[in-house]
């Protein structure tokens, strides 16, 4: 094949590839535009689109023009070779002429590719530029350079972006002209070394000077970046950094500028050695500055480190506490006593009846076994919240019943995208109620939803949720499945406002290309009234609407008073540029829960409410996207009453507070009072205890029971409890953090110590060993520490599950108080055993059997266990063991029917 045809084929192939990529991009943008129209955030889409494309195209154009200008200058200054003397014996580069002929085309295509890469890189920094342009002040200044914190959060990232763009452009231009000078013969290899023409040498010296100036710019930014350094002693620069390394950086900055001047002057000085000396001095300065800083640290700081580092430790403590929002933590004394009485428990009845006995894992499994109803439904997660149920404040656990397309009996296109379009209903129940079979009780259950309280569900369809569902098309000629009813199915039409209209051939073609499915284009079931719902996973939906926010891992469902379902998601603003603040990998060194996002489970409507208008980052984003955010006061009061303090943020704050509650620099330096979040045993492995929600009356500050999030602390190297931290979730005290400190001279059992005591309790250990045999296993739930007035109660549920999977049943509840431990069938009986008196509620309220029924069930269970062991002995031929076990069966039966 002729070479010209080969080249034409390559060009056509590349053109086809670029055309397909461009078409996919246009299709994606069109679908995204319609999606943003659906959620009423078109101005947000246009701002992001124009920012990305405007920044990308302008930077690409600037880079390409810079490269082309340098190439044009190089071509004009090239003389196609260097004059040499005969004795130089130049080494000829073979076929150089052929390279010279193709150089223009190659360099043109190369510059276009380089400009494209620069533009793509720049477009990814669109938010950096917008934040810089609309920056809000923090109102506090750093202690070293006396600049507003906003300079480091908004301006410094932009300056680093600018530096990266300029450095990349100059380097690419340098590589381009280097290649051009090479093929034009401006470099020559001789037996005396490499010779360059004056034009090439001067041009490259000019570009080298620009790089030296950019190095000076880099050193200036590095000086500011010192304030974000992380050190073992404390975050931020210390004595050696500010007394030695910072002055060295200033000196190197001047050396870099001087090196640039030497490079630019080299054509006139006719001495390249001076220019190279400046560059060498810059490299040597970098080595010497680090060496000098190390010497100061070793011989001046280390011998008296606490004295030298004290002011910098103070700065680190102050700024870290402010960055993580723990500077306003209210510290209170809590001196645990052991004088709790039945009357005191009765006074705190609301606290007792809201102690969570159902862990998320076992409850999710149980919900799946009892309430999925059909195989294509799934419970993705279980959420904690609080509701007024029949006039009483109750903590509940709830989970929506979502559709799992992967579990459909027939996964044809019509079923997945036209017929089975949504989940249906939810389960909701109290955190502490147990049925006689050891299963959870429900306030709302079944399909259609059946409520046993004043809670109601009027719009049970779940079109938007946590499931990874694809697009669906509603209001088609195909019947849309609503919910199963016995052996029949109930069908319905979508009556919401969600989705994008799919009328007309062009819309069908657009979405056929977007989802790569021709059936959308040719299906006869799609009508002018049909709508396509996509991006239905709430996390993906929110990330698409506001990609600049970080979202909490636990989205939770809220049932409104009108019976509608809404998703609430906590969103955070973060940065890694806050000065003198401790950094957390993957998070940065500053975080605020600035936004509460709401997604309608039926319509898919999105609302972002500013929850912390004191955060400068969210104020800046609100300037960039004024149409995206609403004040929290505009959130319906019904939803505001269900706002929770987020677990992710609380875990981070508790982790930081474990170190930064030490505000004395000397105590901080020696880590004399370091705290940690205790560990718990789960599946034979230790893992950090997660914060948990509960309803209780806070000592000293609480006048009534309220919904809180709490976690205990233990000393870093011990297991006794030293304090506990709480975040208040109810208005008007939402967001306030409290820490209750225990007296250091008093031993207060920590969770691990209580676990060990439970293991050492003979009767409990024997029962657990027995249950773990014979085809079943015991699941130990989370051990909760529950403060009641001035005392502490420890509660741990036990679940029994068949080996290999099954239905977890809550079999026992362990309660520890002081030196007493009890394990009974429910919480009330365990409390009765420890405290005496009656702390139980009426059976109709607590859903538990009376004591006689409870004892009968226990005897029946023991009789069954003895009978099973007797059968095992019989199979082995052990007649003695068989006889002993059958005697125990007889004894249990006689006690059941005296």
**Taken in order 867, 869, 873, 875, is the CA torsion positive or negative?**
positive
Over the chain (898 residues), the average pLDDT of each successive run of 10 is: 56 64 88 96 96 96 96 81 51 56 79 94 96 96 96 97 97 92 73 72 90 95 96 95 94 91 81 73 84 91 93 97 96 92 91 93 92 92 95 95 92 95 96 89 94 95 93 95 91 95 93 94 94 96 96 96 97 97 95 98 97 96 96 96 96 97 95 92 76 92 91 94 96 96 91 91 88 84 92 94 83 93 92 73 42 60 71 63 72 67
Contact yes or no for 856/898 (Cβ under 8 A) = no
Degrees to nearest 5, angle at CA 319 with 316 and 322: 145
Angle of helix 96-123 relative to helix 156-183, nearest 10 degrees, comes to 170
Residue 798 in tokens = 């036990």
Q: Would you state the pLDDT for residue 582? A: 96
Cα distances from 779 to residues 363, 671, 783, 785, in angstroms, run 12, 37, 12, 19
Q: Helices H, strands E: what count in the chain?
A: 28, 35
Can you spell out the DSSP letters for 123-134? HTTHHHHHHHHT
Among candidates 534, 514, 502, 505, which has minimal Cα distance to 25?
514
**Taken in order 154, 155, 159, 165, is the CA torsion positive or negative?**
positive
pLDDT in tens, 697-709: 998 887 899 999 9
Report helix, strand or coil for 551.
Answer: strand
Phi, psi angles (nearest 5°) of residue 525: -80, -15
Q: Would you state the pLDDT for residue 93? A: 54
Burial class (CB in 10 A: 0-12, 13-18, 19+), 298: exposed
Phi, psi angles (nearest 5°) of residue 810: -80, 105
Q: Would you state the pLDDT for residue 842? A: 39
Q: Using CA atoms, how far apart are residues 102 and 513, in angstroms rounded to an integer?
A: 39
Report helix, strand or coil for 558.
Answer: strand
Report helix, strand or coil for 84.
Answer: coil
Please list the helix, strand and coil fractions of the chain in percent, rounded to the nearest 5, in that order.
50, 20, 30
Cα distances from 791 to residues 289, 836, 839, in angstroms, run 58, 17, 16
Q: Would you state the pLDDT for residue 229? A: 95
Angle of helix 246-269 relative to helix 198-225, nearest 10 degrees, comes to 170
Q: Would you state the pLDDT for residue 539? A: 95
pLDDT in tens, 265-321: 887 777 667 767 777 888 888 888 889 889 999 999 999 999 999 999 999 999 999
Cα distances from 166 to residues 152, 169, 211, 653, 783, in angstroms, run 20, 5, 9, 39, 57
Burial class (CB in 10 A: 0-12, 13-18, 19+), 356: buried
Q: Using CA atoms, how far apart are residues 357 and 392, in angstroms rounded to an integer?
A: 19
Q: Using CA atoms, how far apart are residues 278 and 260, in angstroms rounded to an integer?
A: 8
Cα distances from 321 to residues 225, 326, 663, 738, in angstroms, run 20, 5, 10, 14
């Amino acid at each position: 094949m002729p070479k010209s045809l080969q080249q034409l084929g390559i060009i056509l192939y590349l053109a086809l590839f670029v055309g397909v990529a461009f078409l996919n991009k246009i299709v994606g943008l069109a679908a995204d535009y319609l999606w943003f129209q659906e959620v009423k955030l078109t101005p947000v889409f246009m701002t992001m689109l124009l920012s990305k494309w405007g920044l990308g195209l302008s930077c690409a154009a600037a880079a390409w023009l810079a490269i082309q200008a340098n190439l044009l200058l190089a071509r004009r200054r090239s003389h196609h070779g260097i004059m040499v003397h005969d004795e130089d014996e130049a080494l000829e580069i073979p076929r150089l002429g052929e390279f010279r002929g193709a150089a223009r085309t190659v360099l043109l295509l190369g510059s276009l590719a380089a400009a494209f890469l620069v533009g793509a890189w720049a477009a990814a920094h669109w938010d950096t530029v917008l934040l810089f342009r609309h920056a809000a002040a923090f109102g506090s200044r750093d202690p070293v350079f006396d600049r507003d914190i906003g300079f480091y959060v908004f301006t410094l990232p932009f300056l680093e972006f600018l530096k990266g763009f300029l450095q990349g452009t100059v380097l690419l231009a340098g590589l381009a002209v280097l290649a051009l000078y090479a093929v034009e013969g401006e470099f020559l290899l001789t037996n005396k070394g490499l010779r360059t023409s004056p034009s090439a040498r001067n041009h490259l010296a000019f570009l080298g000077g620009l790089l030296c100036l950019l190095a000076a710019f880099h050193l200036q930014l590095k000086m500011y970046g010192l304030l974000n350094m992380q050190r073992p002693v404390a975050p931020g620069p210390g004595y050696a950094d500010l007394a030695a390394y910072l002055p060295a950086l200033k000196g190197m900055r001047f050396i870099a500028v001087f090196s640039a001047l030497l490079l630019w002057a080299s054509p006139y000085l006719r001495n390249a050695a001076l220019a190279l000396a400046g560059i060498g001095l810059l490299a040597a300065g970098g080595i010497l500055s680090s060496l000098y800083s190390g010497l100061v640290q070793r011989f001046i700081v280390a011998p008296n480190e606490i004295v030298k580092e004290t002011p910098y430790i103070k700065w680190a403590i102050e700024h870290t506490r402010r960055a993580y929002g723990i500077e306003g933590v209210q510290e209170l004394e809590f001196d645990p006593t052991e004088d709790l009485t039945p009357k005191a428990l009765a006074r705190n009845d609301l606290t007792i009846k809201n102690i969570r006995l159902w862990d998320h894992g076992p409850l999710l499994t149980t919900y799946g076994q009892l309430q999925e109803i059909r195989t294509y439904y799934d419970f993705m997660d279980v959420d904690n919240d609080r509701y007024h149920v029949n006039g009483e404040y109750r903590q509940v656990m709830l989970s929506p019943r979502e559709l799992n397309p992967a579990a459909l009996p027939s996964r044809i296109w019509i079923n997945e995208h036209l017929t089975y379009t949504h989940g249906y209903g939810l389960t909701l129940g109290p955190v502490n109620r147990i049925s006689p079979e050891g299963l959870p009780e429900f306030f709302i259950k079944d399909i259609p939803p059946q409520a046993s309280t004043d809670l109601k569900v009027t719009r049970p369809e779940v079109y938007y949720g946590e499931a990874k569902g694809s697009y669906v098309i509603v209001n088609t000629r195909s019947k849309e499945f609503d919910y199963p009813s016995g052996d029949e199915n109930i069908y319905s039409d979508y009556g919401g406002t969600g989705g994008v209209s799919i009328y007309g051939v062009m819309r069908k073609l657009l979405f056929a290309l977007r989802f790569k499915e021709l059936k959308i284009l040719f299906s006869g079931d799609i009508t002018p009234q049909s709508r396509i719902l996509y991006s239905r996973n709430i996390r993906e939906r929110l990330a698409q609407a506001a990609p600049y926010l970080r979202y909490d891992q636990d989205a939770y469902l809220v049932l409104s008073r009108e019976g509608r379902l809404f998703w609430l998601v906590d969103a955070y603003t973060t940065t890694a540029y806050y000065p003198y603040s401790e950094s957390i990998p993957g998070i940065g060194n500053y975080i605020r829960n600035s936004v509460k996002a709401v997604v309608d489970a039926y319509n898919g409507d999105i609302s972002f409410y500013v929850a912390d208008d004191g955060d400068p980052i969210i104020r800046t984003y609100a300037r960039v996207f004024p149409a995206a955010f609403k004040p929290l006061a505009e959130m319906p009061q019904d939803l505001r009453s269900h706002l929770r303090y987020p677990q992710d943020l609380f875990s981070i704050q508790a982790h930081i507070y474990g170190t930064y509650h030490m505000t004395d620099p000397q105590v901080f330096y020696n880590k004399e009072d370091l705290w940690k979040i205790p560990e718990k045993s789960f599946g034979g492995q230790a893992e950090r205890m997660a914060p948990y929600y509960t309803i209780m009356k806070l000592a000293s500050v609480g006048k009534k029971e309220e919904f809180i999030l709490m976690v205990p602390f233990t000393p870093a190297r011990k297991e006794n409890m030293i304090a506990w931290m709480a975040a208040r979730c109810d208005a008007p005290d939402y967001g306030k953090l409290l820490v209750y400190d225990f007296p250091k001279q008093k031993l207060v059992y920590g969770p691990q110590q209580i676990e060990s005591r439970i293991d050492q309790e003979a009767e409990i250990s024997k029962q657990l060993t027995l249950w773990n045999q014979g085809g079943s296993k015991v699941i130990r739930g989370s051990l909760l520490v529950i403060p009641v007035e001035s005392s502490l109660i420890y509660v741990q549920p036990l679940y029994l599950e068949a080996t290999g999977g099954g239905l977890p049943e809550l079999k026992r509840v362990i309660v520890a108080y002081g030196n007493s431990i009890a394990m009974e069938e429910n919480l009330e009986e365990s409390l009765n055993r420890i405290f005496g008196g009656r702390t139980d509620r009426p059976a109709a309220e607590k859903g538990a059997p009376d004591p006689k029924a409870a004892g009968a069930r226990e005897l029946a269970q023991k009789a069954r266990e003895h009978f099973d062991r007797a059968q095992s002995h019989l199979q082995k031929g052990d007649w003695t063991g068989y006889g002993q076990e059958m005697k125990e069966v007889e004894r249990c039966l006689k006690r059941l029917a005296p």
